[in-house]
Amino acid sequence: MAQQVRGVVAPAKGEPVRIETITVPDPGPGEAVVAVQACGVCHTDLHYREGGITDEFPFLLGHEAAGIVESVGDGVTEVAPGDFVILNWRAVCGQCRACLRGRPWYCFDTHNAEQKMTLADGTELSPALGIGAFAEKTLVAAGQCTKVDPAAEPAAAGLLGCGVMAGLGAALNTGAVGRGDSVAVIGCGGVGSAAVLGARLAGAAKIIAIDLDERKLAAARSLGATHTVQAADADVVAAVRELTGGFGADVVIDAVGRPETYKQAFYARDLAGTVVLVGVPTPDMTLELPLLDVFGRGGALKSSWYGDCLPSRDFPMLIDLYLQGRLDLDAFVSEKIRLDDVEAAFDKMQRGDVLRSVVVL
Ligand SMILES: NC(=O)c1ccc[n+]([C@@H]2O[C@H](COP(=O)([O-])OP(=O)(O)OC[C@H]3O[C@@H](n4cnc5c(N)ncnc54)[C@H](O)[C@@H]3O)[C@@H](O)[C@H]2O)c1
Ligand SMILES: [Zn+2]
Ligand SMILES: [Zn+2]
């Protein structure tokens, strides 16, 4: 039977979010209902509220979540009721040309639940990134549930569902940082500081964190940055070159996603090095670079979608490393809040006060 639960809804462009009673249908074929235990507040939720992603209001926000599978629909074999899972927003199809070529992390046809969650009056909700986990329960495609070791703290585990995975994967998967590499990370919010942590995990010898906010630089240092650059009063390219013997870093990760930070990444990188763009630009942004420099500097210019992660491969492995004390996911949980506090958490995020506020249920 369909259930009524509390959820955080963005009703219209730019309006504050509010708690609504939402109806969660029973899972249909290939679907699962998950009792959410924790869900981080990500910039993307705010982008939805501001109408910056689509105009399909009302949105059910929240997408960095962990919880317990409550029920599954017909044909679901990968998870069962009682499983502790992290939700992902790229459930791979197994059928598209990327999947068939053995590169499922690029899947071009990821999917969500077919049925809709609704408001009490029947209005259909658009769940953020196909998840909608600022709610006591949510309906997702079973492929969006990845089973991990239930010993993990839900507030920390859920963060792998979006920003922290994007940053870790930008370093580990897209940038393929290796032992002894030098790495620079521009922008050390939730995503960038996870990239710092990923670079340390991969054995980078030098990790240079760059930000405008001293608090973010301090957090990056505690996560493994060996050097920091205050971007407000330094020439970022010159600073990175100076710290790398005059050459530039092997891998530069742009976790801001603006033309000026991308150019810094491009020139702060050693010859034949790699640039990873993980910050998301807006539609008005364009980039101009001398084509001769693109050729002459060589190397790779890559974009990182969700850290090029494959949830079934990466989530259980990263949770195991967390449980061994080798991956400090707890460091990203700045505060634990209630569903009613999401609007206040957006303000803290905009002021840069937190890496992540996490709703616990
Ligand atoms: N590629 C993906 O799949 C993916 C997934 C999640 C988030 N993202 C994107 O990653 C980006 C970062 O997300 P976040 O949650 O870390 O945001 P955040 O706001 O927490 O962090 C951004 C950081 O960049 C710093 N910054 C801003 N301008 C700067 C500049 N010119 N030079 C240096 N530092 C600067 C800020 O001080 C802040 O610390 C966003 O664009 C977000 O949309 C991408
Ligand atoms: Zn596919
Ligand atoms: Zn997110």
Query: Mind listing the pLDDT tens digit for each residue in 159-174?
Result: 999 999 999 999 999 9
CA-nearest residue, atom 38 of ligand 1: 189
pTM for this prediction: 0.95
143 C-alpha to center of ligand 2: Å? 12
**pLDDT at residue 52 above 90?**
no
Residue from 48, 69, 43, 72 nearest 59 by CA = 48
Q: What mean pLDDT value characterizes the chain?
A: 97
Establish if 341 belongs to a structural domain.
yes
305 Cα to the center of ligand 2, angstroms: 14
Q: In this model, does residue 339 exceed pLDDT 90?
A: yes
Task: Determine, yes or no, domain membership for 58.
Answer: yes
Question: 323 in a domain, yes or no?
Answer: no
Q: What is the rounded average pLDDT of the residues 210-239?
A: 97
**Is the model's pLDDT at 242 over the cut of 90?**
yes
Query: 176 and 150 in one domain?
Result: no
Alpha-carbon separation of residue 324 from 84, 111, 152 (angstroms)? 18, 33, 10
**Same domain, yes or no: 13 and 145:** yes
The proportion of the chain whose per-residue pLDDT surpasses 70, expressed as a percent, equals 100
> Can you give the pLDDT at residue 64?
97
DSSP 35-99: EEEEEE--HHHHHHHTTSS---PSEE---EEEEEEEEE-TT--S--TT-EEEE-S-B--S-SHHH
Same domain membership, residue 145 and residue 238: no
Alpha helix ranges (H) inside the chain: 43-49, 97-100, 154-157, 163-169, 190-201, 214-223, 236-243, 259-267, 291-297, 311-323, 342-351
Is the pLDDT at 341 greater than 90? The verdict is: yes
26 with 156, same domain: the answer is yes
Q: Which atom of ligand 1 is nearest to the CA of 194?
A: 16
Please give the average per-residue pLDDT across 52-63, as a whole number: 95
**347: helix, coil or strand?**
helix
What is the number of domains present in the chain?
2
Q: 157 and 259 share a domain?
A: no
CA distance 3 to 353: 36
Same domain? For 188 and 135 the reply is: no
> For position 1, what pLDDT does the model report?
85
Ligand nearest to the backbone CA of 184: 1
If you measure from the C-alpha of residue 130 to the centroid of ligand 1, how many angstroms do you get, rounded to a whole number? 22
Backbone angles phi, psi at 326, to 5 degrees: -100, 0
For residue 282, what pLDDT is reported?
Answer: 86
Ligand 1 atom 3 nearest Cα: 306
Residue 283 has pLDDT above 90, yes or no: no
Collect residues with CB below 5 Å from ion ligand 2.
Answer: 93, 96, 99, 107, 109
Domain shared by 224 and 106, yes or no:
no
Ligand 1, residues at Cβ distance < 6 Å? 43-44, 162-163, 166, 186-192, 210-213, 216, 231, 255-257, 261, 278-280, 304-306, 352
Q: How far apart are CA 166 and CA 41, in angstroms?
A: 15
Whether residue 132 sits in one domain with residue 249: no
Q: Is residue 322 domain-resident?
A: no
- Ligand closest to Cα of 107 equals 2
Do residue 63 and residue 106 come from a single domain?
yes
- Shared domain check, 40 and 81: yes
Going by alpha carbons, the residue nearest to atom 33 of ligand 1 is: 211
CATH, residue 39: 3.90.180.10
In a domain, 148, yes or no: yes
CA of 118 to the centre of ligand 3 (A): 22
Claim to verify: residue 233 and residue 207 sit in the same structural domain? yes
Q: 230 is in which domain, residue-wise?
A: 167-304
Residue 272 lies in a domain: yes
Give the ligand at the shortest distance from the Cα of 42: 3
pLDDT in tens, 342-361: 999 999 999 999 999 999 99
Q: What is the mean pLDDT of residues 71-97?
A: 96
**pLDDT classification of 31: cutoffs 50, 70, 90:** very high
174 and 251 co-located in one domain: yes
Q: Is position 317 within any domain?
A: no
pLDDT tens, position by position, 258-280: 999 999 999 999 999 999 999 99
